[in-house]
Amino acid sequence: MRSHKDTPAPTLSYQVVSSPLKAVETGHKVRMDLIKKSKLRYQWRHRRLQFCYLRRVRDLKLGSQGSEDTVRPWKRSLIEVNGRLDSAYRHELYSRVAHSYSEIGKFSHFYHLNENPCITHMMQIQSLYQCPTMRGVAGLDFDNRGIFLVSVTRSGCLMVHDFESLYCQSKLGPGSAEDESKHVVHFSYPPGREFDVARWNPSNQNEVACTSRKHDQVLIFDISYMSPKPTEVLQTRQKLSIIGRKISRGLSDVAITSDEDSRIFSPDTLGMVHVWDRRAGVSPCIELSTDRYDSIKSIQIYVDNQTIFGAGKEGIIHIWDLRGGRNSSAFQSRKDMSQLPLASLHLAPKLQKIASLKAQSEIVPKEIHSIDVNPSSPHQLAFHLDDGWSGVLDIYKSEVTHVHCPPPAWLDGSNSSADLILRKPSWLPTSSIYVVGSMSEKGIHVLDFHPSSRSPCHVDYDEDTQRNEKRDKCNHRNKFVSLSETVTGCAAHPLNGMIVAGTQNSSLLLIAQMHCSSSSETAEGEL
């Protein structure tokens, strides 16, 4: 037995550092060693997860041999390992959600101002006793966060709704009175001040820009002022005819860049796109022209804020590049500053290249009602024609990759009054799903425009091949959602994908998944 006194004292090992610089270097090496050890530990855990997942998949495959029902691998492990959803799996999930949509709320435009019916309300009453004129919701748009929804009517009303209030109101069921005090803004104008388009300013979410095909002005409203007078009015250049009269031209659309350079684009009914730089004044700084007379109906700004798409009556999509294209505007006079398109794509010849479509119908140039850039796949430019056809133009390949051709309205004996409506579809924020109002029925088409050939609207879609691959067919198909009124335009919530549709009767329809019943919510709470 050795006593405690015989036990040698522990020696302390240390390194003598001769200078402060070496001390810093030594500390740096110690930290690097710790970082390397943590990286190795993370890599070991990552490989262990992968090994466990592969072993699980192998066991499932071995266990399913000889049985009729194949066991699918657990997809959640991939999400945990990779930290992200697979694109095909994400498309499947969002398609299931979109296919479960139905009308859950209806908000008729029977509103009052100062205890008197607004102009749209009075027009609705007059239409019951007289022949209905051009009416209905003309424009819808959500702000960037989906908090507010702006809507304009052809009768002359501009409204800003609180979306959460609309959603909560839909839970009360049909027939419940709407609380008009929750309206953020409601302006009613006398006849002669109709609206056709309303857009939020992406760089200033207090501003709304409105245009009309009967006026040559862009009206900008600041909703924080709560004033019916626009805070700014942008004018087009006055042009005179040969006999000296003023040429009247309205503005059919408006678009605003997402950066902070305050550029606003608006096409007129004579084929010119006016560009304003608000820092330079209220007059256009440049005009984008076409090489032929083509009334521009819709305009879109690409994600780079430099490429402009315009489509119109002749069935042509014009493309302008503000950085310089066919002719640069750097050495032109300010009064004569204009720019021709970089390219002009005719849709009819591109549709004729689709053999199956050409064999079934005669393809002629048709008016384009609307174009929209896909927010989840910016190379897809959706178009909607006056006969109800919709499709996708791949701007990289300059080819039509998707097309949806519903039966014409006259085939069902429908009223032709819907032909006069300039329908405005919308993309859902994710998964390349396009929503468009039906021309012949009361409802909307939910179209799967996924870039791959799995989409039923893709020109290379093969139904037999998709069936042989044992895919769930309900996840890759289009759906028609029946509604209570004829739809004129749609807007999708930028975050949750809910749809608000404007109708020919100036109503707003909320389209989403059905609310859970109170009994089911109580049962879930008890569990």
Ordered by where they begin, the domains of the chain are 91-119+346-512 (2.40.128.630)
Contacts of 171 (CB under 8 A, 6+ apart): 515
Question: How much is the average pLDDT of 163-179?
Answer: 83
* % of the chain residues with pLDDT over 70: 70
pLDDT (tens digit per residue) in 3-15: 444 545 444 444 4
Q: 473 versus 206: which is more confidently predicted?
A: 206
As a whole number of Å, the CA-based R_g of the chain is 30
Q: 404 versus 89: which is more confidently predicted?
A: 404
Q: 150 versus 471: which is more confidently predicted?
A: 150
pLDDT of residue 477: 81
**pLDDT above 70: residue 372:** yes
pLDDT of residue 520: 42
What b/e sequence results for 360-389 when a residue is b if at least 16 CB atoms lie within 10 Å of its CB, and e otherwise? eeebeebebbbbbbbebeebbbbbbbbbbb
Q: 272 versus 36: which is more confidently predicted?
A: 272
Number of helices (H), then strands (E), in the chain: 9, 31
Half-sphere exposure of 63 (CA within 13 A, CB side): 9
Question: How much is the average pLDDT of 90-101?
Answer: 86
For residue 1, name the pLDDT band (cuts at 50, 70, 90).
Answer: very low
**pLDDT above 80: residue 130:** no
For residue 353, name the pLDDT band (cuts at 50, 70, 90).
Answer: very high
Would you say 314 and 269 are in contact if contact means Cβ atoms under 8 Å apart?
no
pLDDT (tens digit per residue) in 382-428: 999 998 999 999 999 999 999 999 987 766 655 544 445 678 999 99
pLDDT of residue 88: 77
Quote the tokens at residue 330: 């750097």
* % of the chain residues with pLDDT over 90: 43
Question: Helices in 215-338 by DSSP H: which ranges?
Answer: none
For residue 55, name the pLDDT band (cuts at 50, 70, 90).
Answer: low
pLDDT of residue 399: 94
Q: How many CB atoms lie within 10 A of CB 105?
A: 22
Q: 343 versus 27: which is more confidently predicted?
A: 343
For residue 324, name the pLDDT band (cuts at 50, 70, 90).
Answer: confident
Residue 200 forms beta bridges with which residues? 208
Q: Name the DSSP class of 251.
A: B
pLDDT of residue 93: 83
As a 3-state breakdown, the chain gives helix, strand, coil percent values, each rounded to 5, of 25, 30, 45
Mean pLDDT computed over every residue of the chain:
80
**pLDDT above 90: residue 153:** yes
For residue 310, name the pLDDT band (cuts at 50, 70, 90).
Answer: very high
Question: How much is the average pLDDT of 273-283?
Answer: 91
Half-sphere exposure of 381 (CA within 13 A, CB side): 27
pLDDT of residue 393: 96
Strands of 102-107's sheet in order across? 102-107, 508-512, 499-503, 487-492
pLDDT (tens digit per residue) in 356-370: 888 888 888 999 999
Long-range interactions of 395-401: CB distance < 8 A, separation 24+? 395/309, 395/319, 398/343, 398/345, 398/350, 399/350, 399/353, 400/347, 400/350, 400/351, 400/353, 400/354, 400/459, 401/451, 401/458, 401/459
Distance CA 210, CA 427 (A): 21
**pLDDT above 60: residue 72:** no
Q: 202 versus 20: which is more confidently predicted?
A: 202
pLDDT (tens digit per residue) in 448-477: 999 988 889 999 887 666 555 554 444 568
**pLDDT above 50: residue 522:** no
Distance CA 346, CA 287 (A): 22
Would you say 404 and 383 are in contact if contact means Cβ atoms under 8 Å apart?
no
